[in-house]
């Protein structure tokens, strides 16, 4: 479908912003590729051209519904009080309560949170689970904070955003630098204010307080299912093929050992400190043990060390960026040699890099499909929490596989029917579902 001429696209808005004196929104292409919000808008504009929806709905889905910024004090161990800034953004709540992780990072800003909230709306719609998109973040460096300071920060931030958070309205989860312990503090803080336990207010909790079996591995497991489907589609033999995984955290470590368990040779992995490489293969399970003992993958025996930049350019069959956004950009995309790029992280590839990878013949499994296993099992956890009725890990993994395999093939079908790449196909599917739900509900009042 042709784009309506009245719609203002990303490129047009950029020019208008420059004219109107908003340099922060008027970034050049190179700068824009470093801003994941600009990238999210650009991808939205491209996909929205294929979705039959009125202009008003197009405009509505292009903006975040609510954006909360909170500045709040935290008592530090030395007795001083430090003020932190946090965010919680709801992009869309038409298909259900908003869902999205909370990130603790020194560089997180409102644009990052907006972009990640928008990606969550599309992700939930791609896999067909009844949620809208949200994201949260606090500007902080958890590595520089004690456990007590982190708990004080978490409990105060949870209180500040509790005007948005609830099992029916907005359900946070872990993201970069947040984990099950932090989710437990959020659940406890919220429950203390209510006067009774409310397990369904967060997902990614410890099992002892209503967490779900399989949630810890779910994102990585979903990535593994997508890699297998992609290889099947491309007629690539699994046995003897090679994989490189960037980021060895909650997502990357699981992807690495699950790919290994399926017969794929993991030849390199990395964390924020750098990468390790062994062309004969690395035992990812053993690296997990090494990380538990030492805090990093570095120093693992029998491997060469390399930078994260070099790691992304290694010759391999499957590359899984599972660290941060904007790792593959115009600066390095031409040197990426992987046949399949499976995006474990959110937004690891800039739109310009996307084109270069596709021109070079890579098959990209886009983030909103590839890493949707996490939110899928979060949904299972939420349902179990609401019902106080728990499923076995086997049931969870079987249902996860069903959803991931079905969603991969839904996206592949659209990509073949419309002759577009997988990212565009996934966005067309997701935006179409959210637009349809919006039109069916109608505009209030």
* Active centre residues (catalytic): 135
What are the angstrom distances between the C-alpha of 220 and each of 55, 182, 203, 320, 413? 37, 20, 16, 10, 24
Comparison of 154 and 438: residue with beta carbon closer to ligand NAD: 154
Number of shown-chain residues binding ligand NAD (CB under 6 A): 24
Task: Name the residue among 35, 34, 18 with its Cα closest to residue 26.
Answer: 18
Q: Which C-beta is closer to ligand NAD: that of 13 or that of 271?
A: 271
- Give one word for 263, left, alpha or beta, with left for phi > 0 and alpha for psi -120 to 50: left
Residue with tokens 């390199």, as numbered in its chain: 268
Phi, psi at 379, each rounded to 5°: -60, -45
349 binds ligand NAD (CB under 6 A): no
Q: Which of 131, 248, 363, 380 binds ligand NAD (CB under 6 A)?
A: 248
- Quick check: 382 binds ligand NAD (CB under 6 A)? no
Which residue minimizes CB distance to ligand NAD? 249
Distance in Å, CB of 296 to ligand NAD, minimum: 8
- Binding piece for ligand NAD, criterion CB under 6 A, among 52-60, 152-160, 265-273, 415-423: 265-273
Instruction: Say if residue 111 is preceded by a cis peptide, omega within 30 of 0.
Output: no
The Cα 259–Cα 265 span in angstroms is 8
Residue 388: closest CA among 166, 218, 197, 243: 197
Q: Which of residues 277-336 bind ligand NAD (CB under 6 A)?
A: 308, 322-324
Residue from the set 371, 384, 397, 438 that interacts with ligand NAD by CB under 6 A: 371
Confirm or reject binding of residue 176 to ligand NAD (CB under 6 A).
yes
Distance CA 323, CA 370 (A): 14
The yes or no reply on residue 175 touching ligand NAD (CB under 6 A) is yes
Q: Is 210 in the site for ligand NAD (CB under 6 A)?
A: no
Q: Is 142 in the site for ligand NAD (CB under 6 A)?
A: no
Per CB under 6 A, the list member of 60, 272, 330, 420 interacting with ligand NAD is 272
Shortest distance (Å) from residue 442 CB to ligand NAD? 32
Select from 100, 210, 344, 432 the one that contacts ligand NAD (CB under 6 A): 344
Residue 247 binding ligand NAD, by CB under 6 A? yes
Whichever of 174 and 351 has its CB closer to ligand NAD, that residue is 174
| Other residues' Cβ atoms within 10 Å of the Cβ of residue 195 | 7
Binding segment for ligand NAD among 15-23, 87-95, 170-178, 234-242 (CB under 6 A)?
170-178
Contact between 249 and ligand NAD by CB under 6 A: the answer reads yes
Q: Which of 137, 351, 374, 385 binds ligand NAD (CB under 6 A)?
A: 374
Applying CB under 6 A, does 226 fall inside the site for ligand NAD? no
Of the two residues 384 and 438, which places its CB atom closer to ligand NAD in the complex? Answer: 384
Q: How near is the Cβ of 276 to ligand NAD at its closest, in Å?
A: 12
**Binding positions for ligand NAD, rule: CB under 6 A:** 174-177, 219, 246-252, 270-272, 308, 322-324, 344-346, 371, 374
């Amino acid at each position: 479908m042709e784009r309506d001429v009245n719609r203002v696209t990303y490129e047009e808005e950029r020019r208008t912003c420059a004219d109107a004196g908003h340099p922060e929104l008027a970034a050049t292409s190179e700068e824009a590729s470093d801003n994941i919000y600009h990238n999210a808008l650009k991808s939205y504009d491209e996909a929205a051209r294929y979705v039959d929806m009125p202009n008003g709905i197009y405009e509505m889905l292009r903006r975040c519904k609510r954006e909360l910024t909170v500045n709040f004090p935290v008592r530090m161990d030395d007795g001083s009080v430090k003020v932190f800034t946090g965010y919680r953004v709801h992009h869309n709540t038409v298909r259900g309560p908003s869902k999205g992780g909370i990130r603790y990072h020194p560089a997180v800003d409102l644009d990052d949170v907006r972009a990640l909230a928008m990606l969550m709306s599309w992700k939930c719609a791609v896999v067909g689970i009844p949620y809208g998109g949200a994201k949260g973040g606090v500007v902080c460096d958890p590595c520089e904070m004690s456990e007590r300071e982190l708990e004080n920060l978490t409990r105060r931030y949870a209180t500040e955003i509790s005007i948005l958070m609830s099992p029916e309205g907005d359900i946070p989860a872990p993201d970069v630098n947040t984990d099950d312990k932090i989710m437990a503090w959020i659940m406890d803080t919220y429950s203390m204010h209510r006067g009774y336990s409310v397990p369904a207010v967060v997902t990614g909790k410890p099992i002892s307080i209503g967490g779900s079996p399989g949630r810890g591995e779910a994102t990585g497991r979903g990535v593994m299912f997508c890699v297998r489907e992609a290889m099947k589609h491309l007629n690539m033999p699994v046995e003897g093929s090679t994989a490189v995984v960037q980021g060895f955290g909650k997502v990357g470590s699981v992807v690495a050992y699950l790919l290994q368990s399926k017969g794929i040779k993991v030849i390199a992995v990395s964390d924020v400190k750098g990468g390790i490489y062994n062309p004969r293969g690395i035992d990812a399970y053993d690296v997990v043990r090494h990380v538990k003992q030492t805090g990093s993958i570095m120093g693992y025996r029998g491997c060469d060390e390399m930078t994260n930049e070099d790691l992304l350019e290694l010759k391999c069959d499957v590359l899984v960026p599972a660290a941060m956004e904007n790792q593959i950009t115009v600066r390095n995309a031409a040197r990426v040699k992987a046949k399949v790029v499976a995006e474990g992280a959110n937004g690891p590839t800039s739109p310009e890099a996307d084109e270069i990878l596709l021109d070079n013949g890579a098959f990209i499994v886009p983030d909103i499909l590839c890493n949707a296993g996490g939110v899928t099992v979060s949904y299972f956890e939420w349902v179990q929490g609401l019902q106080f009725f728990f499923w076995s890990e086997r049931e969870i993994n079987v249902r996860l596989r069903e959803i991931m395999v079905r969603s991969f093939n839904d996206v592949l079908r659209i990509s073949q029917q419309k002759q577009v790449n997988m990212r565009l196909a996934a966005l067309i599917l997701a935006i179409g579902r959210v637009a349809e739900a919006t039109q069916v509900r109608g505009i209030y009042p």
